Amino acid sequence: MAGILVYALHYEGQINKNSLGAVSEGARLASELGTECHAIVVGEKAGLPDDLVGSLGAYGASKVFRVDGPEGLAQPVVDAMAKVISDNGHEYALFGGGLLGFEIGAGLTARLDAGVCMEVTAVRVEEGKLVAERPILQDSQIADVHYRSGVGVIIGRLNAFEATQNGAGDAAVEDVDVEFAAHSLKASMVQRGEQRGANVNIEDADVLIAGGRGLGKAEGFEALEALAGAFGGAVAATRAVVDAGWYSYSAQIGQTGKTVSPKLYLAAGISGAIQHKVGMQGSENIVAINKDSNAPIFEFSDLGIIGDLNKIVPKLTEAVKAKKGG
Amino acid sequence: MKICVLVKEVPDAAVEKRINPSTGRMDRSGEKNLNPFDTHAIEAAMQLKEGGNMEVDEVVAVTMGPESAVRALHKAVSLGADRSVHLTDEALAGSDVNGTGYALAQALAKESPDLVLLGQQSDDGECYTIGAVVADHLQMPSLTQVIKIDVEDGALRCERQAEYGYDTVQVQLPAVISVGDAINEPRYPSLKAIMGAKKKPLETLATGDVGIEGDRVGFENARAHCNDFKAPPAKSAGQIIEDEDTGETVEKIIAWLDERKLIA
């Protein structure tokens, strides 16, 4: 049968939110195509009980394939999906936003000689086929992508697909034995999900002051903390500065971090790469301070200030304090 | 041990990139440069070579692209690669991710590398996927967006940020690793290295030299076909302030925030 197979990532007893969105999207598309949406989970069996796996039915999966295998690595999932697709004849493989989906989708592309489109923001049905929309060139254009292969691989952008519980009850669970390729077992997880830096809560803050590489050094965050303090808000960070060890991972916005939508998002020294944008574009008001007038962030900010943040931020902090005090 | 580094020539960051409406492909005319992410991959190769924890005999830069892509190879060699391989053929033009990954894997297979390094993304295509495509063809373990590599017991201990925090993964060689820009600070090439780059061995390969099947590459054989480009929904342009007098700038910001009741 034709159909859509969605990869569902899980960690510590929960299915990833972007995966749930992909299952919902897969179910919507499958019903329009007159076919079924299935999901696949790969991991240690103890972490994939029937109730967790079956709960994907609520998001629209009619069946879930459960594969006992290593967690957190892409290549065993490529083997598992290739087998399930070849046994069941799925026409599309769908992934929610995130890092593993890129890796698995890419591996599957090679394995199945498939067409692939990544960073997909919307999918529609046209003449019985799926057409993916992908923003390109810093989101200045949107391309339609048509598949001309037996299997089409669709990798969603972070938060592109909304998780909706439109399904009917629990999904059937089918255990599948997969013989993993030799190379798929040559990478092994030593430690997964290490949290670096202090645990901070940024998701509930009405005001977020976010810092990027433009701060120049870790100490640059002190001025942002003062500004956040004046607003009664919290401080967030880009991946570049978190990877550099300047700030906590728990405060990171974007692709492999948090998604936020505060009333005010003030970005200081952030260029505005797509991987950052996808985590904060839902903010009600976006203010950007950057010395580079060509920074992409000015394309999607409501107020842009071209200037030196080291001069502006301390004065702004004083002014906010004065305003609040007055 | 041999390390191959995949590099790509991309439009310079300052060039405004656009789609040629008649071909549906990116207009890659104008100033070009080595993909900035690839300089981190070359640096990672050089640090492994110089680090002494593994015996690296040579670092080979590999690219696929038109004639002009030779300049990206020269740059890679000036940054430390010992020689380079240029896969170039009219038949490859317009290949999609599937075709590009397959063709590169064919060229790499000829080199039998112990390690393939590449940047996590190209500055123009932003696909993040070539490493994993190549790895599947070469049947090597793979990890992308790696920000730290240590040699341990003849294998690589890699760190990267994934969905739930930082992961540490042990990867056996041969392997394909794509690196993020946080992994290192690339060196600047010396004037001598720049001058000498053109003298280093450069091998030019066509599809037939590495057994690339013609029906798997090129624009016409793309498994994913891009067309119908449109502009995204218009977002009303934001207000821009150029900071000349900071006191005045701050007053304007405060007024803007106050109008929206953002200073409670």
Cα–Cα distances (Å) from B169 to A47, A86, A316, B151, in that order, read 20, 29, 44, 12
On whether residue A113 sits in a domain, the answer given is yes
Helix (H, G, I), strand (E, B) or coil at A98: coil
Q: What is the mean pLDDT of the segment spanning B151-166? A: 96
Helix (H, G, I), strand (E, B) or coil at B65: coil
Alpha helices (H) in B79-127, listed in sequence order: 97-111
Number of CB pairs < 8 Å for A and B? Answer: 275
Give the residue among B213, B33, B31 at the shortest CA–CA distance from B105. Answer: B213
Please, are residues B223 and B98 in contact by the beta-carbon 8 Å criterion?
Answer: yes
Q: Which residue has the tokens 């749930």?
A: A20
Q: Tell me whether residues B224 and A249 touch, CB distance under 8 A.
A: no
Q: Tell me whether residues A139 and B253 touch, CB distance under 8 A.
A: no
C-alpha distance from B192 to closest chain A C-alpha (Å):
31
B contact test, residue of A75, A103, A155 with most B CBs within 10 A: A103
User: Is there a single domain that holds both residue A161 and residue A228?
Assistant: no
Residue B260: closest C-alpha in chain A = A285
User: Is there a single domain that holds both residue A24 and residue A135?
Assistant: yes
Q: Does B17 touch chain A (CB under 8 A)?
A: yes
Residue A104: closest C-alpha in chain B = B132
Please calculate the CA angle A190-A191-A196 and round it to the nearest 5 degrees.
145
On whether residue A116 sits in a domain, the answer given is yes
Give the residue among A257, A255, A298, A304 at the shortest CA–CA distance from A278. Answer: A255
Helix (H, G, I), strand (E, B) or coil at B48: helix
Please tell me the distance from the alpha carbon of residue A73 to that of residue B169, in angstroms, as a whole number: 9
C-alpha distance from B62 to closest chain A C-alpha (Å):
19
Please, are residues B142 and B132 in contact by the beta-carbon 8 Å criterion?
Answer: yes
On whether residue A171 sits in a domain, the answer given is yes
- Digit-coded pLDDT (tens) for A245-279: 999 999 999 989 999 999 999 999 999 999 999 99
On whether residue A147 sits in a domain, the answer given is yes
- pLDDT of B124 strictly over 80: no
Give the residue among A259, A278, A286 at the shortest CA–CA distance from A120. Answer: A278
- Digit-coded pLDDT (tens) for A48-72: 999 999 999 999 999 999 999 999 9
Q: Tell me whether residues B242 and A118 touch, CB distance under 8 A.
A: no
| Tokens at A14, concatenated | 């929960």
CATH number of the domain where residue A94 is located: 3.40.50.620
Please, are residues B132 and A103 in contact by the beta-carbon 8 Å criterion?
Answer: yes
Cα–Cα distances (Å) from B188 to A243, B56, B70, in that order, read 22, 21, 19
- Digit-coded pLDDT (tens) for B57-90: 999 999 999 999 999 999 999 999 999 999 999 9
User: Is there a single domain that holds both residue A261 and residue A302?
Assistant: yes
User: Is there a single domain that holds both residue A138 and residue A223?
Assistant: no
Q: What is the mean pLDDT of the segment spanning B1-30? A: 81
B contact test, residue of A109, A157, A255, A308 with most B CBs within 10 A: A109
Distance of alpha carbon A142 from the chain centroid:
19
User: Is there a single domain that holds both residue A44 and residue A148?
Assistant: yes
Residue B219: closest C-alpha in chain A = A148
Q: Does B163 touch chain A (CB under 8 A)?
A: yes
Residues of B in contact with A80 (CB under 8 A): none
User: Is there a single domain that holds both residue A74 and residue A212?
Assistant: no
Structural domain for A56, as ranges = 4-185
Provide the pLDDT for residue A251. 97
Please tell me the distance from the alpha carbon of residue B132 to that of residue B6, in angstroms, as a whole number: 13
- pLDDT of B153 strictly over 60: yes
Q: What is the mean pLDDT of the segment spanning B134-161? A: 97
Q: Where are the beta strands (DSSP E) in chain A?
A: 4-7, 10-11, 14-15, 37-43, 63-68, 92-95, 115-120, 122-126, 129-136, 141-147, 152-156, 172-176, 187-194, 207-211, 234-237, 264-268, 285-290, 303-306
Provide the pLDDT for residue A1. 57
Stretches where chain A sits below pLDDT 70 are 1, 326
Question: How many Cα atoms within 13 Å fall on the side-chain side of residue A82?
Answer: 23
Residues of A in contact with B232 (CB under 8 A): 135, 139-142
Residue B103: closest C-alpha in chain A = A110
CATH number of the domain where residue A262 is located: 3.40.50.1220
User: Is there a single domain that holds both residue A62 and residue A147?
Assistant: yes
Give the residue among B152, B110, B254, B196 at the shortest CA–CA distance from A325. Answer: B254
- For all residues of chain A together, what is the average pLDDT? 96
* pLDDT band, very low/low/confident/very high, at B173 (cuts 50, 70, 90): very high
C-alpha distance from A181 to closest chain B C-alpha (Å):
8
Question: Which B positions 68-87 lie with beta carbon below 8 A of chain A?
Answer: none
User: Is there a single domain that holds both residue A73 and residue A23?
Assistant: yes
User: Is there a single domain that holds both residue A172 and residue A213?
Assistant: no
The topology (CATH level 3) of B2-221 is Rossmann fold (3.40.50)
User: Is there a single domain that holds both residue A217 and residue A181?
Assistant: no
DSSP letter string, B188-203: PPPHHHHHHGGGS-EE
User: Is there a single domain that holds both residue A313 and residue A167?
Assistant: no
Q: Which secondary structure element, helix H or strand E, spans residue B77, and what is its range?
A: helix B70-78
- pLDDT of B53 strictly over 80: yes
On whether residue A226 sits in a domain, the answer given is yes
Q: Tell me whether residues A304 and B175 touch, CB distance under 8 A.
A: no
C-alpha distance from B74 to closest chain A C-alpha (Å):
26
C-alpha distance from B179 to closest chain A C-alpha (Å):
12
User: Is there a single domain that holds both residue A153 and residue A282?
Assistant: no
Question: pLDDT above 70 covers what percent of chain B?
Answer: 98
Please tell me the distance from the alpha carbon of residue A89 to that of residue A204, in angstroms, as a whole number: 44
On whether residue A193 sits in a domain, the answer given is no
Q: Tell me whether residues A139 and B232 touch, CB distance under 8 A.
A: yes
On whether residue A202 sits in a domain, the answer given is no
B254 sits in the region (left: phi over 0; alpha: psi -120 to 50; else beta) called alpha
On whether residue A101 sits in a domain, the answer given is yes
- pLDDT of B16 strictly over 80: no
Provide the pLDDT for residue B228. 82
